[in-house]
Amino acid sequence: MRKKLNEKQKVIAYLLNTDDDLGNLSTKKIGKLFDVSQSTAYNAVKDIRVQKRIKDLEQELERTKRELRERNPMIADGVVDVLPE
């Protein structure tokens, strides 16, 4: 059975690959560090990158929702179902 990375190791792999202060290591080097294949390291970095993008998008949606409610009290009270064109 092939070795897999746990969530904490995936986050560490992502940081090692993307952070200038941590060396921007290649996924090949990260694979050697964790004793996994390059493709396993690559997939771990990709997985965390996707999770981060989803979280960033969710935060942006919540910020936009708050701004809409602050700018238009009718939206906040649920009076307006659809914004006028």
Euclidean distance between CA atoms 23 and 41, whole angstroms: 15
Write the DSSP assignment of 34-72 as a string of letters.
HTS-HHHHHHHHHHHHHHHHHHHHHHHHHHHHHHHHHH-
36 contacts 43 by C-beta, under 8 angstroms: no
| pLDDT score of 82 | 55
| pLDDT score of 65 | 87
| pLDDT score of 70 | 83
- Radius of gyration of the chain from Cα atoms? 20
pLDDT value at 37 more than 80? yes
Q: Whole-model pTM?
A: 0.76
